Amino acid sequence: MTQISTTNPATEKKIATYDVMTPETAFDKIEKCHAAFRDWRTKTHKERAPYLRKIAAALRDNADDFATLMTEETGKLLRDGQTEVALCAQIFEYTAEHGPDLLADEERKHSGGEKRGLVTYAPIGVIYSIQPWNFPVYQPVRVLAANLMAGNGVILKHASICTGSGLMLRDICLKAGLPEGLFDVVIVDHDTSDAIIEHKHIRGVTMTGSDGGGRHIGQAATKNLKKSVLELGSNDAYLVLEDADIELAVKTSVQGRLYNNGETCVSAKRFVVTDAVYDAFTSAFVEQMKAIRLGDPKDEDTQLGPLSSAEQFDTVSEQVTKSVDGGAEVLCGGSAPDRTGHYYPATVLVNCQPGTPAYDDEIFGPVAAIIRAKDDDDAMRIANDSRYGLGGGIFSKDEDKALRLARDHFDTGMVRINSFGAADPNMPFGGVKDSGFGREHGGFGMKEFVNAKAIYLP
């Protein structure tokens, strides 16, 4: 029987080994999820809400254990893991509070306003959730909470390196009283995953990951006429305009680049800096990046932990090498320390050129690309000169100007002004272009996998 193992990226020691499921075992879980869905769908939204609140409470009760496991599986800072669990509890609570109103039936008029109509948001069935490793509980939860409220069941395929986290989430939900089978985890290979998409009881597919992986999943879903939501990668640009508060921009940009060890789809990755403030920003930014403390992710003093795996370390190292070969200059970092674990230092690249990873691609690690712009207009042009469009940011003392740029010109799904953050339950999350399509959070995710059913009354 094929097995997979999880490994601690800080110590390189094996954590656990799991059997890869046969297609028959995975399909059995889908059948059981469908059976549980058929009962769950009969509950009202208000009847579903208490289950979500109980899961939120159970997450809070198990926060320390869950955060420790995430740190051991992926190398994220322990305190970031604790914050992640708290966010997930908030997502369940937000969904429980607002879901019944957001998904309530809507009365409408038709036939010139002479007749009555009703729009109802009906659940559709089992949703297949394919999730990455960088936020082992948050990524599955933002799908799970929304779809449980909508009345759907969920089957999770988690990244293999955080298999334990996926199973812990399932167990917490069961202990909180969620009906057995309504949410379950499959441990499968890629071929079985593709077969799951084809299964008759899978009604929708949602995936977070790379744009390459998204193309494959999206094509498989479309081939089988299944709706998909894809939240893919990005190389988010943060603009430092001529009137930016440089101290704020530097402090926020360091935070935005290194949050979650730099392994975040909405990390600040490209820093497009206008010529007027380029030298001031770059020197201060490099100084702060040089001072970052690399170390044990369980240590309170650590600011940057290891990358999630040997594979991820090799990928980031290769991207930096290719960027330097293409003309980029390393101002700090750029070479790994001689120590156990998949550690990569805070790194700053300048003179980043089109056609290199630092300019064109997503570097999923603590590597910042600084790109010089002539002026504010040129900075906006460079920011949009990307196949990606997930998030971005603008630093400017003129909030009205920044808002106009964000609203009218920034070609992304999310824009931060003079700030950095990953997600908020009350705001939509998602992107455009090669960063995917569909939205989560802010009530939008609850309506992605429902049947907006029109009922005509006389």
Q: 212, 135 in Cβ contact below 8 A? A: no
Tokens of 447: 């309506």
Count of CA atoms in the C-beta half-sphere (13 A) of 372: 11
Dihedral sign of CA atoms 14, 16, 19, 23 in order: negative
Tokens of 130: 């394919």
Task: Please identify every residue annotated as catalytic.
Answer: 231, 265
Closest by CA position to 263, among listed 298, 311, 306, 205: 306
Residue 439's φ and ψ, nearest 5 degrees, are: -135, 150
Dihedral sign of CA atoms 196, 198, 202, 205 in order: positive
Q: Are strands 329-332 and 347-350 parallel, antiparallel or unpaired?
A: antiparallel
Q: 54, 94 in Cβ contact below 8 A? A: no
Q: Are strands 202-208 and 270-274 parallel, antiparallel or unpaired?
A: unpaired
C-alpha angle 263/442/203, rounded to 5°?
Answer: 85
- The residue assigned the tokens 């569909």 is 438
Q: Per DSSP, which regions of 9-103 are E strands?
A: 14-19
Tokens of 389: 């469009």
**Cα 176–chain centre separation:** 25
Closest by CA position to 211, among listed 446, 442, 431: 431
Q: 386, 410 in Cβ contact below 8 A? A: no
Q: 75, 306 in Cβ contact below 8 A? A: yes
Helix (H) or strand (E) holding 255: helix 246-258
Tokens of 373: 């712009």
